[in-house]
């Protein structure tokens, strides 16, 4: 028999998986930080169902943070953006980005 905590965890996981399925996104493709924020988003969202007077701000915030986490991870995988990882001034990085982007257009 599952404990109440395990049942709530499974409910949140199901909630997140259903949400991701609407956008044809596999949970296994997401970063751990994104999955963690989506779990917290689901927790906050289900709290609203149980307590309608609860604040929607936390729901929106955790969904936004989940998107931000995944965006950061995804940007790190784009080859043309690896220059951001170098230790140099931002001005130099912008110049390098312009050369890389505009060089591909020629």
Residue in 81, 78, 77 with CA at minimum distance from that of residue 94: 81
Least confident of 5-14, 56-65, 66-75, 76-85: 76-85
Cβ-contact 17, 32 below 8 angstroms? no
Which pair of tokens denotes residue 50? 């149980």
Distance between CA atoms of residues 99 and 3, nearest Å: 58
Collect all residues with Cβ–Cβ distance below 8 Å to 45 and sequence separation of at least 6. 15, 59
Across 16-43, average pLDDT? 95
Distance between CA atoms of residues 56 and 93, nearest Å: 39
78-101: per-residue pLDDT in tens? 776 666 666 766 666 666 666 655
C-alpha dihedral sign at 5, 7, 9, 12: negative
Which pair of tokens denotes residue 56? 């929607």
Cβ-contact 37, 27 below 8 angstroms? no
Supply the pTM of this predicted model.
Answer: 0.71
36-67: per-residue pLDDT in tens? 999 999 999 999 988 888 889 999 999 999 99
């Amino acid at each position: 028999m599952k404990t109440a905590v395990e049942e709530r965890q499974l409910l949140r996981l199901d909630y997140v998986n259903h949400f991701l399925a609407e956008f044809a996104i596999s949970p296994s493709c997401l970063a751990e930080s994104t999955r963690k924020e989506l779990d917290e988003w689901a927790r906050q969202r289900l709290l609203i169902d149980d307590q309608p007077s609860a604040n929607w701000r936390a729901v929106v915030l955790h969904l936004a943070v989940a998107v931000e986490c995944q965006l950061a991870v995804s940007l790190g995988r784009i080859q043309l953006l690896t220059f951001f990882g170098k230790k140099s001034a931002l001005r130099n990085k912008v110049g390098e980005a312009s050369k890389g982007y505009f060089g591909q257009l020629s």
